[in-house]
């Protein structure tokens, strides 16, 4: 494993007044972009990241505007709220209808589905509360001992890990259970490689997920698929360092893993979090909204922790899985990296952050929402 180290590139070697200053240095960012221009092959190059936070970085710092025109940076399926399937939202709505307190993150409230939304369930009298972390749900359960509280647990590895630790602690309040909609990122990225009309030259792996999984998780792409891959952080110099390393690999025909976020990501990751996830969850095929069924990508609660599982506790009848999006919505194409949000005819017209029509416009991690937030030009 080798490659650029963004910390060294930024000249940040020790404690500083502003620890991000070097990673946001405009001159260094311009130098990196210039080197990318000089070294990129003379053809279209497509690099995909799978993280709403990376798209936010690209947009906030207008990175596409300083990169060469033949370099396309596309966002893939990096928004857990966007890929949460309608039938799982329907389960949460059903539990609200049955009188449980539904504890959920704000972005999930407005996600439109054919079964309605949690905001609609709340309007109809359901008790749906906003939380910022699993301990808020524990607090709700403690404060409401006579009520059932259900944590609608949506998210990738970064969210799954603390929820797993809560389950595996064996110390959950008796009136608290989890309705899980956790997804693993690597299987979705693998799926993308098998879709014939998507050509991707390299992947940028999400830095925060990698804190949990370790950078080693992504070696698979270099070793099995011959694809350059880089773990990147969330400052502009982090991102551009990753892009430069990937462009160099593409130019030279290399395929290896670069960890350009070494200040946070180790090869082995967070072993405690990994153990908690393995203890609490079983890995199963799962449905991704707009994408379909992805093998080995879901996390459901193991039978030994059945009391913590809202599906078992409430004997929920499984709502049929359907790959449904509102008519005319192109979220599936956005999430597969086939188009940018501006390729959807509804973008900025029928679908805006104030009036979200598709799931990618709801969450602050949704590509359409991020593009809208920064003017809709792609950064």
Q: Which stretch binds ligand SF4 (CB under 6 A): 145-153, 281-289, 291-299, 328-336?
A: 328-336
Figure out which of the listed residues 357, 363, 365, 379 binds ligand SF4, where binding follows CB under 6 A.
357
Q: Which is nearer to ligand SF4, 28 or 362 (CB)?
A: 362
| Contact flag: residue 52 with ligand SF4 (CB under 6 A) | no
Q: What are phi and psi of 148, to 5 degrees?
A: -85, 130
Q: Residue for token digits 């008796």?
A: 174
Contact between 90 and 328 under an 8 Å Cβ cutoff? The reply is: no
Figure out which of the listed residues 7, 112, 341, 379 binds ligand SF4, where binding follows CB under 6 A.
341
Q: How far is the CB of 49 from ligand SF4 (least distance, A)?
A: 18
**Closest by CA position to 205, among listed 190, 218, 224, 188:** 218
**Closest by CA position to 108, among listed 315, 325, 323, 356:** 356
Phi-psi region of 290 (alpha: psi -120 to 50; beta: other; left: phi over 0): left
Phi-psi region of 348 (alpha: psi -120 to 50; beta: other; left: phi over 0): left
| Contact flag: residue 358 with ligand SF4 (CB under 6 A) | yes
| Contact flag: residue 247 with ligand SF4 (CB under 6 A) | no
| Contact flag: residue 336 with ligand SF4 (CB under 6 A) | no
| Contact flag: residue 360 with ligand SF4 (CB under 6 A) | yes
Q: Which stretch binds ligand SF4 (CB under 6 A): 24-32, 70-78, 221-229, 346-354?
A: 346-354
| Contact flag: residue 83 with ligand SF4 (CB under 6 A) | no
Q: How far is the CB of 379 from ligand SF4 (least distance, A)?
A: 16
Give the largest Cα separation in the chain, rounded.
66
Residue 376's CB is within 10 A of a number of other CB atoms, namely 17
| Contact flag: residue 346 with ligand SF4 (CB under 6 A) | yes
The number of residues in the chain equals 379
Figure out which of the listed residues 138, 172, 334, 336 binds ligand SF4, where binding follows CB under 6 A.
334
Tell me the H-state helices in 98-156: 106-109, 118-123, 134-143
Distance between CA atoms of residues 348 and 166, nearest Å: 40
How many residues touch ligand SF4 under the rule CB under 6 A: the total is 14
Distance between CA atoms of residues 80 and 70, nearest Å: 29
| Contact flag: residue 76 with ligand SF4 (CB under 6 A) | no
| Contact flag: residue 276 with ligand SF4 (CB under 6 A) | no
Q: Which is nearer to ligand SF4, 166 or 361 (CB)?
A: 361
Distance between CA atoms of residues 273 and 279, nearest Å: 10
Q: How far is the CB of 347 from ligand SF4 (least distance, A)?
A: 4
Q: Which residues bind to ligand SF4, rule: CB under 6 A?
A: 329-331, 334, 341, 344, 346-347, 351, 357-358, 360-361, 368
């Amino acid at each position: 494993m080798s490659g650029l180290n963004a910390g060294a590139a930024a000249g940040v070697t020790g404690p500083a007044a502003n620890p991000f200053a070097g990673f946001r240095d405009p001159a260094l960012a311009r130098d990196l972009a210039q080197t990318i221009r000089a070294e990129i092959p003379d053809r279209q190059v497509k690099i995909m990241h799978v993280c709403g936070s990376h798209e936010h970085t690209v947009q906030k710092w207008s990175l596409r505007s300083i990169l060469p025109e033949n370099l396309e940076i596309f966002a893939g399926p990096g928004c857990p709220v966007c890929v949460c399937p309608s039938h799982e939202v329907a389960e949460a709505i059903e539990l609200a209808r049955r009188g449980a307190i539904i504890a959920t993150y704000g972005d999930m409230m407005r996600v439109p589905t054919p079964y309605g939304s949690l905001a609609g369930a709340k309007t109809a009298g359901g008790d749906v509360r906003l939380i910022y972390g699993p301990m808020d749900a524990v607090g709700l359960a403690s404060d409401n001992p006579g009520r059932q509280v259900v944590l609608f647990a949506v998210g990738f590895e970064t969210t799954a890990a603390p929820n797993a630790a809560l389950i595996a602690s064996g110390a959950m309040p008796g009136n608290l259970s989890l309705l899980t909609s956790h997804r693993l990122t690597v299987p979705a990225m693998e799926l993308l490689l098998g879709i014939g009309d998507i050509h991707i030259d390299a992947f940028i792996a999400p830095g925060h997920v990698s804190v949990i999984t370790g950078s080693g998780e992504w070696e698979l792409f270099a070793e099995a698929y011959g694809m350059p891959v880089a773990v990147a952080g969330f400052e502009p110099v982090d991102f551009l360092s990753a892009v430069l390393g990937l462009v160099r690999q593409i130019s030279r025909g290399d395929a290896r893993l670069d960890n350009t976020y070494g200040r946070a990501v180790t090869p082995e990751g967070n072993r405690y979090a990994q153990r908690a996830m393995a203890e609490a969850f079983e890995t199963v095929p799962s449905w991704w909204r707009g994408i379909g069924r992805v093998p080995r990508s879901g996390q459901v609660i193991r039978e030994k922790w059945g009391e913590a599982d809202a599906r078992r506790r409430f004997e929920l009848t499984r709502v049929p899985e359907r790959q449904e999006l509102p008519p005319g919505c192109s979220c599936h194409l956005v999430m597969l990296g086939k188009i940018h949000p501006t390729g959807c005819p509804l973008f900025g017209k029928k679908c805006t952050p104030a009036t979200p029509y598709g799931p990618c416009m709801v969450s602050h991690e949704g590509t359409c929402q991020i593009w809208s937030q920064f003017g809709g030009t792609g950064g």
